[in-house]
Amino acid sequence: MTTRETDDQQQPKTTREKIAQLRRARLHLQRGGGRERITRQHESGKLTARERIDLLIEKETFQELFLFARHRATAFGMAGKDLPGEGVVTGCGTVAGRQVFVAAQDFTVAGGSVGETQADKICQTMDLALKCGAPFVTFNDSGGARIQEGIDALSGYGRIFYRNVLLSGVVPQIAIIAGPCAGGAAYSPALMDFIIMVRGTSEMFITGPEVLKQVTGEVVTSTELGGPDAQMSSGVAHFVAESDADAVHICQQLLNFLPANNLEDPPEQGDGAIHFYDDPALNSAIPDDPRAPYDVKPIIERLVDNGELLEIHKTFAPNAIIGLARINGSTVGVVANQPAVMAGVLNIDASDKIAGFVRFCNAFNIPLLTLIDVPGFLPGVDQERGGIIRHGAKMLFAYGASTVPKVSLILRKAYGGAYLAMCGKDLGADRVAAWPTCEIAVMGPEGAVSIVFRDEIKKASNPAEARAEFASRYRAEFASPYTGAGRNLIDDIIEPSETRRYLSLAFASLRTKRELRPQKKHGLVPM
């Protein structure tokens, strides 16, 4: 259909005719780009914007906004061009009974391209989300700036970015990338809190393969460049979904963990009662050999409600784990070193991953549980040249600046600056417990004795044996939880089996925590 229904040649006169006209116009606009393009959308493995919203928002609660929006472009054949809904469906409705605002780009209408009016629909929806203190969710499926609208389209993106910043830290923002999202357009999701990409249909990049080939000579497919796996390992995406429906499910799971805004606490589940139970299996969770790797994930799963951890950034810096879970029905942000990958060492990517998550949790009143088993920051020329000092400082800053309840549990190694960066007592942890396997030290015993007893080891008839002997003495003297507990750096040394009880009581005791900081515009987080 090329003419607009509300531009009927024959203007309706009676109320009945006007209502009939309204119904026709609505139906026409709700059909988006029409049957053929919808079929094409389905054939490419994608749902339409309305189908996506139907999956996200509870039935009957969706209230559409700005259905009748019209562009006013005239250049390049745009005069009077019928673009139903302007290539985006916007509105609000409930998810698990809580209000959410949504904008879903409609690829069947001009490829979901963003013109002045589409941008205005999105901006006004964001403004409402901000004023109402409700999360904002987008489905991104668009060819980018509407080429025919030139700088009006560019300016539209600018206004969206500006609002992404205004909303940041006030309401949760979640982007589901469900189609192309390229060029500058990728910066709106990048300014949001979570990016969920759909395998097989979504792509994100700044410079597409064709341009790259011309400019740098590099040849790469668009999936290799910007597909979900590529953007997961770059740290841009937080989740990969297998389909649109799976992406919506992940988004709903996320929303269920989060408060609607920064002035609320996260929603509680259950009756709030503390469930005490011992878990003897945890007593054998850590290998006897302090250098043996183990997977920390099963330990996390034993500590949280129903063993459910919504892991974030799974394949980005897998030497650290971050995710959302519940303890006695209350949301906690979990941060852990992963000794199964690179011995759980902290590197540039792990520092960025943890720092960003800690700041997110702090902004949205989510208490932090930190599980420590860290041999240090990763040594290496690449790391130094890449600025590991600057990146590691982000973690120190993020933990130091956060005022939510912070409980740290030292499972095993807690060495050097990496221990402090993982929220030791001195970086502001409210409670610190340690398992008897804990070793806090300025550095690992082997490294320490090689420096302190260098001469003795060199002179010994069997240097390797001498180093091992000195290391064992060092470990017994310094790297024991009793030394840390003696200095009040550890509140308690607990049996692993009692950990769930310890954490339950610790978080319950911190529910009313209030920590005031000096007034300032904002701190200068290392960037």
Which residues between 125 and 144 bind ligand HXC (CB under 6 A)?
143-144
Cα(256)–Cα(366) distance, integer angstroms: 13
Q: Which of 479, 355, 484 has its CA nearest to residue 423?
A: 355
Identify which of residues 82 and 305 has a Cβ nearer to ligand HXC in the complex.
82
418 is catalytic: yes
Parallel, antiparallel, or unpaired for β 63-65 and 88-95? antiparallel
Encoded tokens for 295:
């997977």
Give the Cα separation of 41 and 139 in Å (integer).
14
Active-site residue identified among 45, 158, 169, 184: 184
Cα–Cα dist 31/43, whole Å: 17
- Distance between CA atoms of residues 493 and 371, nearest Å: 14
What angle in degrees, to the nearest 10, is found between the helix axes of 244-257 and 49-56? Answer: 40
Which CB, 26 or 159, lies closer to ligand HXC?
A: 159
Q: How far is the CB of 103 from ligand HXC (least distance, A)?
A: 16
Q: Is 183 a catalytic residue?
A: yes
Nearer to ligand HXC, 146 or 313 (CB): 146
Per DSSP, what are the bridge partners of residue 139?
104, 176
User: Between β-strands 320-327 and 310-312, what pairing exists: parallel, antiparallel or unpaired?
Assistant: antiparallel
Q: How far apart (Å, rounded) are the C-alpha atoms in residues 410 and 339?
A: 13
Residue 157 binds ligand HXC, judged by CB under 6 A: yes
CB of residue 179 to ligand HXC, shortest distance in Å: 8
Instruction: Select from 154, 468, 493, 508 the one that contacts ligand HXC (CB under 6 A).
Output: 154
Sequence-ordered list of residues with C-beta below 8 angstroms from that of 527, at least 6 positions apart, any chain: 390, 394
Q: Which is nearer to ligand HXC, 207 or 403 (CB)?
A: 207
In sequence order, the 6+-apart residues with CB closer than 8 A to the CB of 448 are 441, 442, 471, 474, 478
Closer residue to ligand HXC (CB): 146 or 163: 146
Query: CB atoms < 10 A from the CB of 259, how many?
Result: 21
Size of site (CB under 6 A) for ligand HXC: 14
Is residue 434 a contact point for ligand HXC (CB under 6 A)? no
Among all residues, whose Cβ is closest to ligand HXC? 143
Q: Which long-range contacts (CB under 8 A, 24 or more apart) does 219-222 make?
A: none
Interface residue with ligand HXC among 25, 88, 100, 145 (CB under 6 A) is 145
Judged by CB, which is closer to ligand HXC: 184, or 400?
A: 184
Q: Which is nearer to ligand HXC, 109 or 309 (CB)?
A: 109
Q: Smallest distance from the beta carbon of 148 to ligand HXC, in angstroms?
A: 6
Of 45, 150, 169, 183, the catalytic one is 183
Q: Is 417 a catalytic residue?
A: yes
Tell which positions 60-119 bind ligand HXC, by CB under 6 A.
110-111, 113
- Measured CA to CA in angstroms, residue 51 lies from 47, 57, 74, 196, 244 at distances of 6, 10, 31, 17, 10
Question: Which residues of 294-347 form beta strands (DSSP E)?
Answer: 310-312, 320-327, 330-337
Nearest distance, CB of residue 212 and ligand HXC, angstroms: 14
CB of 79 to ligand HXC, least distance (A): 15
Query: Binding to ligand HXC by residue 53, rule CB under 6 A?
Result: no
User: What x/- string results for residues 171 through 210 when contact with ligand HXC is judged by CB under 6 A?
Assistant: ---------x--xxx-------------------------
Q: How far is the CB of 508 from ligand HXC (least distance, A)?
A: 47
Site for ligand HXC in 376-395 (CB under 6 A): none
- Min separation Cβ 224 and ligand HXC, Å: 16
- Strand, helix or coil for residue 476: helix
User: How far is 74 from 57, CA to CA, in rounded Å?
Assistant: 35
Binding residues vs ligand HXC (CB under 6 A): 110-111, 113, 143-147, 154, 157, 180, 183-185
Which residues are known to be catalytic? 183-184, 417-418
